[in-house]
Amino acid sequence: MSDLAGLYQELILDHAKRPHGYGLVEHPSAESHQLNPTCGDEITLQLNVADDGTLTSVTWEGHGCAISQSSASLLAQLFDGLPVSELQPRIDSFRTMMRSRGTIEPDEDLLGDAAVLSGASKFVARVKCAMLGWVAAEDALAKLK
Amino acid sequence: MPSSITSTTTAEPLSPAEVAALRSDFPALAQQVNGHPLVYLDSGATSQKPRSVLDAERDYYENRNSAVHRGAHTLAALATEDFEEARESIAAFVGASAEEIVWTSNATEGINLIAYAISNASLGRGGAAAERFRIGAGDEILVTELEHHANLIPWQELAARTGATLRFIPVDDDGSLRLDELDDLIGERTRVVAFTHVSNVLGTVSPVELLVARARAVGALVVLDACQSAPHLPLDVRALDVDFAVFSGHKMLAPTGIGVLYGRRDLLDALPPFLTGGSMITTVTMEKAEYLTAPLRFEAGTQRVSQAIALAAAVRYLDAIGMDRVAAHETLLGRRLTDGLAAIDGVRILGPVAGVERVGLASIDVPGIHSHDLGQFLDSRGIAVRVGHHCAQPLHRRLGVTSSTRASTYLYSTPDDVDAFLAGVADGIAFFGGPR
């Protein structure tokens, strides 16, 4: 597979076109807005948490490239239904994967389908695109505590 | 009929053989990128450099490197001579005299220099001579909605510091300046009119003659951002009758770190300095200093000697071809670009196209496909373009997009480069699932 095909896998393009969790709710448990000033990509991401500490849903809105949009969608799909305590290890694992320049195998147990974004880690200029939603989730998570 | 550059269309465009010959002067153009020959269509961001420019800089460092305007030794004299000859070359290139040319780092610094000097005058610096520059509450600074951030934010800041009001000439949905609103926008309160000669996003040429006439009628200063015109069109600052003009060397075959501020001599001599320190003074006591006349008044500290000399080499290179022929060449490429893009389903060219004078530059939006993704696809074929907002967020917002994909040519660009870009755009749209 070429690097370009690795970057834009079918799963990524599908998520970019039909994003999971798209659309904001009125009263989220926590919310974060992030902006990538170099390209203008923007995201508002919300965590919605039930009383028992389970994340019922991640909701978000934003605009940007296929990488940033699919990444947020894959995050939302991955996080839905998880205990809040399990989010940070997954964010850490995703960041490690994205900073690896394609040198390490992604941890699919932790990242699920989001491991597909490992192809983007070879493109240094696109790492920030992929990280945008995850940085928003981390920021929102910190606000929960 | 757009004013100011009407002569360019009569010149002979460069022949394919001429372009092929001059391309061999540019080492960077010969490389492969991602397994493909480089198709460099990002000259609006920065140009590639010919060997003669690189050699000029190396030759200076190898043979004459020393501090200019000081020292009694032979090398210092040779360096000073080269440095001042470079100033004369650039002056001749834009129709000015040497004492009207101030070296800056780039156009951004040039605009900031003017804005801060006006600000200093507004605080009373520069005495009676600088009174004409004083602005404050009730005064207005006029820009356009087309501007690069470099010709917007320094004026926002100047307005904030002085209490003046910043206004702008809006563009319509098509990206054309709303000249019908000038009566409401230019008046007795207008003190500065700052606008771009050529839009770095749309590639369109501004109606300089008209805007200068309107500014003159109310006694406002005219500042021209010539960043996208000086490299691509014959530029004559006296014929255009602007008060100040700025441009950057790196966009016109020279290295980074060198730019030019042109200022009418009487204005520069009356303007208080911006940066102060060594090399810009006549007499200094512990209490105060007297300043040199322009241009040295505005060149504090050790100067960019090698870059200025390299810029002079760049200007020699451009003059040897002829700026009218460069412009004719790029007009043809620009037309090929817009004609080709207009024929691709799903592509929106930003800005007016039909019957409008443009340089070899076009920005596009493809609804449903983000510019970064399209740019990445093109890069995989070795095609280098600019993606994003090109430092013009307000214009993009006005045109209803957050980013665009920009192809920009130069004298070394070929019809094949343009065709590779057009094929890349069409294939990229198909790759990402077709037009929306």
DSSP codes of every residue in B300-329: -SS--HHHHHHHHHHHHHHHHH-HHHHHHH
Shortest alpha-carbon distance between residue A127 and chain B (Å) = 12
Shortest alpha-carbon distance between residue B248 and chain A (Å) = 21
Each residue's pLDDT expressed in tens, for chain B with a length of 436 residues: 344 444 445 799 999 999 999 999 999 999 999 999 999 999 999 999 999 999 999 999 999 999 998 878 999 999 999 999 999 999 999 999 999 999 999 999 999 999 999 999 999 999 999 999 999 999 999 999 999 999 999 999 999 999 999 999 999 999 999 999 999 999 999 999 999 999 999 999 999 999 999 999 999 999 999 999 999 999 999 999 999 999 999 999 999 999 999 999 999 999 999 999 999 999 999 999 999 999 999 999 999 999 999 999 999 999 999 999 999 999 999 999 999 999 999 999 999 988 888 899 999 999 999 999 999 999 999 999 999 999 999 999 999 999 999 999 999 999 999 999 999 999 999 999 877 6
From CA B413, how far away is CA A20, in angstroms rounded?
43
Instruction: Give contacts of B388 with chain A, Cβ < 8 Å.
Output: 38-40
Verify whether residue B391 is a known catalytic residue: yes
Shortest alpha-carbon distance between residue B346 and chain A (Å) = 17
| Contact at CB, A4 and B372, closer than 8 angstroms | no
Q: CA nearest B370 in A: which residue?
A: A65
Shortest alpha-carbon distance between residue B372 and chain A (Å) = 6
| Contact at CB, A67 and B372, closer than 8 angstroms | yes
The burial class, CB within 10 Å (0-12 / 13-18 / 19+), for B186 is buried
Instruction: Give contacts of A129 with chain B, Cβ < 8 Å.
Output: 372
Q: Is A7 on the interface with B (CB under 8 A)?
A: yes
User: What is residue B200's predicted lDDT score, i.e. its pLDDT?
Assistant: 97
Contact B140, B191 (CB under 8 A): yes
CA triplet B11, B17, B19: central angle to 5 degrees? 65
Q: CA nearest B396 in A: which residue?
A: A40
B262 DSSP β-pair partners: B101, B245
Whole-number CA gyration radius for chain B: 22
The structural domains of chain A, ordered by start, are: 3-144 (3.90.1010.10)
| Contact at CB, B373 and A67, closer than 8 angstroms | yes
User: What is residue B9's predicted lDDT score, i.e. its pLDDT?
Assistant: 55
Q: Please spell the DSSP secondary structure of B204-237, one letter per residue.
A: BBP-HHHHHHHHHHTT-EEEEE-TTTTTTS---H
Query: What fold does the segment set B54-319 form as a domain?
Result: Aspartate Aminotransferase; domain 2 (3.40.640)
Instruction: Give contacts of B391 with chain A, Cβ < 8 Å.
Output: none
Instruction: Give residues 364 to 423 of B whose Cβ lies within 8 Å of A.
Output: 370-373, 376-377, 380, 387-389, 393, 396, 402-403
| Contact at CB, B431 and A63, closer than 8 angstroms | no
Which CATH number is B6-49+322-431's, of 1.20.1050.10, 3.40.50.300, 3.90.1150.10, 3.40.50.2000? 3.90.1150.10
Q: What are the Cα distances from residue B72, in Å, to B69, B142, B277, B281, B304?
A: 9, 47, 21, 19, 20
User: What is residue B436's predicted lDDT score, i.e. its pLDDT?
Assistant: 64
User: What is residue B356's predicted lDDT score, i.e. its pLDDT?
Assistant: 86
> Would you kindly state where each structural domain of chain B is located, as residue ranges?
6-49+322-431, 54-319
From CA B325, how far away is CA B134, in angstroms rounded?
42
Whole-number CA gyration radius for chain A: 14
Closest CA to B147 of B106, B114, B194: B194
Q: Is A65 on the interface with B (CB under 8 A)?
A: yes
Q: Is A15 on the interface with B (CB under 8 A)?
A: no
Q: Which candidate in B201, B202, B314, B391 is catalytic?
A: B391
Q: Which amino acid is present at B431?
A: F
Q: Chain B interface, mutation test: which of A41, A65, A127, most B Cβ atoms within 10 Å?
A: A65
Instruction: Give contacts of B371 with chain A, Cβ < 8 Å.
Output: 39, 65
A-B CB pairs within 8 A amount to: 44
pTM: 0.94
Instruction: Give contacts of A61 with chain B, Cβ < 8 Å.
Output: none
Q: Chain A interface, mutation test: which of B369, B376, B406, most A Cβ atoms within 10 Å?
A: B376
| Contact at CB, A4 and B389, closer than 8 angstroms | no
